[in-house]
Amino acid sequence: MNNQPIGFIDSGVGGLSVIKEVMKVLPNEQLYFIGDTARNPYGSRPLNEVRNFSRQLANFLQTKKIKLLVIACNTATAAALDVLQNELDIPVIGVIEPGSKSAVESTKNNTIGVIGTKGTIHSEEYENKIKQLNQSTLIKSVACQPFVKIVEEDNLNSNEITEVVENSLKAFNRVDMDTLILGCTHFPLIESYIRDYFGEQVTLINPGVETALLVQQTLIKENLLNEEESQPKEHIFYTTGLAEKFEEMAKKWLDNKNFRVEHLPLKELVNK
């Protein structure tokens, strides 16, 4: 048994969609999360810069004695997964491989769509992972950067969402796909709008679900699972932006309210 916390890093609030799934399968674990909202979005930044930011976030969480790190951001996974796996002496998990595996297992016609940020799409990480699993798969990838802004600004009930979704997804109109990867952790938060656009004939893959299962499997394999069923410890969420806004959004999205939010000044990350 190991009662050290699990760490999560993300460019903003989107990683809470992964936190939500992990809370379901690992209710006894304490979670530490950093949402780098002050430097969001990562998706339009150079991958080298995102890699440096990810290092800073990971190094901070290392001071909290985490036992495993989840890169709960697709762009950061593309930029920094290999580097952090080499540099840290704890297991490091990204969201791209679990999402790719789930999509390949789901598709019936070997045609998969991917939506994500500019950085994730341009990295071609999803294409590479999917092709490793099934070389014959046809893949159509589309950058949907405006979706991130909608989520970060908490405009989830805005009348403009439907129009933005339609404009972004019309690139798939001539694609005969049956599976779509939500390749940004922000996107499950507007999943209902995406589902309305495609209908039930397209299966939507939320990589956060498979990532949560991989976290569970890794903890068991490495003998790091906390099996103690006592009162769960309070989860700690850090944000480099406004703590009040982050807390408001987290309370709205998460079923588990046993957390507190703290502001993390950028200088504490940059000077580490």
Question: How many whole angstroms separate alpha carbon 272 and alpha carbon 267?
Answer: 8
Question: How many whole angstroms separate alpha carbon 85 and alpha carbon 212?
Answer: 18
E strands present in 85-191: 92-93, 111-116, 138-143, 179-183
11 is in an annotated binding site: yes
Q: Which of 9, 18, 50, 73 is catalytic?
A: 73
Q: List Cα–Cα distances, 138 to 1, 88, 112, 144, 207, in angstroms.
A: 43, 35, 6, 19, 19
Chain centroid to CA 89: 22
Quickly count: other Cβ atoms within 10 Å of residue 225's Cβ: 19
185 is in an annotated binding site: yes
**β-strands 179-183, 111-116 pairing:** parallel
Residue with tokens 């799409």: 121
75 is in an annotated binding site: yes
Residue with tokens 């989830």: 156
| Cβ 72 vs Cβ 47: under 8 Å | no
In a 13 Å sphere around the CA of 260, the CA atoms on its Cβ side amount to 5
89 is in an annotated binding site: no
Q: Which of 50, 66, 104, 184 is catalytic?
A: 184
Question: How many whole angstroms separate alpha carbon 154 and alpha carbon 37?
Answer: 13
123 is in an annotated binding site: no
Active site residue 144: no
Task: Residue count of the chain, please give it.
Answer: 272
186 is in an annotated binding site: yes
Which parts are annotated binding residues? Answer: 10-11, 42-43, 74-75, 185-186
Residue ranges for the binding site for substrate?
A: 10-11, 42-43, 74-75, 185-186
- Catalytic site positions: 73, 184
